């Protein structure tokens, strides 16, 4: 049994227990899924405090409605769907406050293979301060519409397959690909300053 | 002309965001905050919403569709209404009974019946033994078939 299947069965068991009023099982679900849920909400808001509030909103909604969850989709998909809708609604309403309140980058970035390759290929990335790079990337993502930002977060940052994103957002895979295409076009323009220079891309 | 990032480079740049993490220990306190939020919600919700949730939770294991649940609810309402109609609040008392209650004589109920006092036969000696009580025997009380306790308690059956 692979890890994904094991996790799915564990979720089914915990959900069934939570539906009968087992608070410990619900707490286990909170602890198991919160890190990934946090990442989804945080990359959408680029604000730690908003993310904390939204995460509690999401769990409050899940707590209220877990009794009605019939298991027609995986709990993970349903949970992400609740989080995505809650966050998109919040971001759409939040028109004025766009202050970035970013989490710190962990030291693992310095050992990240892709980052090392990117630094080798691109002088601007190599020259940029890590904090500055983080701020620029976040600002570029915040320029996207909430729907486009959501697919970028799920696909590019969290590594979800197109099919899972389509199921979670209840849209077709074609729509996911189309949103990603337009979002990437916009991001390429926003982040053009980090494009590799001619001399640094030489084989 | 300025070069642009290709697809691979753009994705590599975006994936750097995976290294943005909440402060250490953030998830340790999350459960407490979620619990506090649940309690706040419970306190602020009106009683009718809690009642609806309770009813929904009660019927949830039955796996009923909305249509079935609606039919069951309608049946319950009809049943309660039928019981209400079948058992009126006050039992109608016929006029002549009402006279007795109001202080009229028993004779009003059946004017053609002659009451003959002393027309019953006296008990035989054999029968009399059952009703006569031995004056030396302890007093007996006949209590209806109902659980009785002499201990003081708040519970009533």
A190 and A122 inside one domain? yes
A113 and A152 inside one domain? yes
Which tokens hold the place of A114? 């892709």
CB-based contact, B62 to chain A, within 8 Å: no
Nearest CA in chain A to B63: A70
Which tokens hold the place of A50? 């908003």
CB-based contact, B141 to chain A, within 8 Å: no
Beta bridge partners of A105: B20
Calculate what percentage of chain A has a pLDDT beyond 90: 59
A88 and A117 inside one domain? no
Residue whose token pair is 């302890």: B138
- Chain A and chain B share a number of CB contacts under 8 A equal to 123
Q: What H or E segment, with its residue span, contains residue A89?
A: helix A75-93
The answer to the question of residue A155 being in a domain is yes
The answer to the question of residue A124 being in a domain is yes
Give the SS3 label for residue B59.
helix
Tell me what the pLDDT averaged over chain B comes to: 73
Mutation target among A25, A46, A58, A64 for the B interface, most CBs of B within 10 A: A64
Virtual torsion, Cα A62, A42, A190, B5, nearest 10 deg? -90
CB-based contact, B13 to chain A, within 8 Å: yes
Closest residue to A196, CB basis, from B3, B41, B53? B3
Nearest CA in chain B to A48: B22
Question: Helices marked H in B7-155 — which ranges?
Answer: 7-15, 26-44, 47-59, 66-86, 95-101, 125-131
CA B83-B88-B91 angle, to 5 degrees, is: 140
d(CA A184, CA A148): 9
The answer to the question of residue A148 being in a domain is yes
The answer to the question of residue A199 being in a domain is no
Q: What angle, 0 to 180 degrees and rounded to 10, lies between the N-to-C axes of helices A162-169 and A75-93?
A: 70
A120 and A83 inside one domain? no
pLDDT > 70? residue B92? no
Q: Report whether A81 contacts A38 (CB < 8 A).
A: no
User: What would the mean pLDDT of A37-41 be, rounded to a whole number?
Assistant: 95
Q: Report whether B109 contacts B101 (CB < 8 A).
A: no
d(CA A194, CA B22): 26
A153 and A189 inside one domain? yes
Q: What is the pLDDT of residues A115-140, one digit of tens each?
A: 788 777 777 777 778 888 888 999 99
User: What would the mean pLDDT of A178-182 be, rounded to a whole number?
Assistant: 96
Burial level of A50, CB count in 10 A (0-12/13-18/19+)? buried
A82 and A118 inside one domain? no
Closest residue to B20, CB basis, from A112, A134, A198? A134
pLDDT > 70? residue A113? yes
Which residue range is the domain that position A16 belongs to?
A: 3-93
Q: Which residues contact A142 (CB under 8 A, 6 or more apart)?
A: A46, A98, A100, A149
- DSSP single-letter state for residue A153: I
pLDDT > 50? residue B50? yes
Report pTM.
0.67
Beta bridge partners of A47: A101
CB-based contact, B84 to chain A, within 8 Å: no
- Here the ipTM equals 0.83
The answer to the question of residue A43 being in a domain is yes
A70 and A118 inside one domain? no
Chain A hits for B22, Cβ within 8 Å? 38, 42, 48, 51, 103
A80 and A159 inside one domain? no
**DSSP result, A181-201:** HHHHHHHHHHTGGGSPPGGGG
Q: What is the pLDDT of residues A59-73, one digit of tens each?
A: 999 998 898 888 888
The answer to the question of residue A86 being in a domain is yes
Total domains in chain A come to 2
Q: What is the CATH number of the domain that holds A147?
A: 1.10.10.10
Residue B79 banded pLDDT, cuts 50, 70, 90? very high
Chain A hits for B57, Cβ within 8 Å? 21, 67
A52 and A115 inside one domain? no
A89 and A115 inside one domain? no
């Amino acid at each position: 049994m692979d890890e994904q299947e094991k996790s799915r069965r564990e979720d089914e068991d915990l959900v069934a227990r939570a539906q009968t009023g087992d608070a410990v099982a619900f707490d286990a679900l909170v602890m198991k899924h919160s890190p990934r849920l946090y990442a989804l909400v945080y990359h959408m808001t680029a604000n730690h405090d908003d993310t904390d509030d939204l995460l509690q909103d999401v769990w409050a909604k899940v707590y209220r409605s877990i009794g009605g969850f019939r298991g027609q989709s995986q709990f993970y998909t349903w949970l992400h769907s609740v989080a995505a809708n809650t966050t998109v609604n919040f971001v759409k309403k939040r028109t004025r406050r766009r202050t970035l309140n970013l989490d710190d980058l962990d030291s693992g970035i310095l050992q990240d293979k892709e980052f090392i390759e990117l630094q080798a290929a691109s002088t601007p990335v190599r020259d940029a301060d890590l904090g500055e790079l983080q701020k620029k990337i976040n600002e570029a993502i915040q320029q996207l519409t909430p729907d486009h930002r959501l697919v970028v977060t799920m696909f590019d940052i969290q590594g979800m397959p197109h099919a899972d994103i389509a199921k979670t957002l209840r849209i077709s895979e074609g729509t996911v690909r189309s949103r990603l295409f337009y979002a990437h076009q916009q991001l390429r323009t926003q982040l053009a300053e980090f494009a590799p220079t001619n001399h640094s891309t030489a084989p | 002309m300025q070069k642009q990032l290709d697809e691979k480079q753009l994705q590599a740049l975006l994936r750097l965001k995976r290294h943005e993490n909440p402060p250490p220990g953030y998830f340790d306190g999350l459960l407490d905050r979620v619990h506090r939020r649940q309690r706040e919600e419970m306190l602020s919700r009106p009683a009718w919403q809690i009642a609806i949730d309770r009813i929904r939770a009660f019927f949830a294991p039955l796996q009923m569709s909305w249509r079935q649940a609606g039919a069951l609810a309608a049946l319950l309402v009809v049943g309660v209404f039928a019981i209400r109609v079948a058992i009126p609040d006050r039992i109608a008392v016929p006029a002549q009974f009402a006279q007795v209650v109001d202080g009229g004589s028993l004779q009003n109920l059946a004017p053609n019946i002659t009451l003959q006092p002393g027309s019953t036969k006296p008990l035989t000696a054999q029968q009399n033994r059952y009703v006569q009580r031995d004056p030396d025997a302890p007093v007996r009380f006949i209590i209806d078939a109902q659980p009785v306790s002499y201990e003081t308690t708040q519970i009533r059956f």
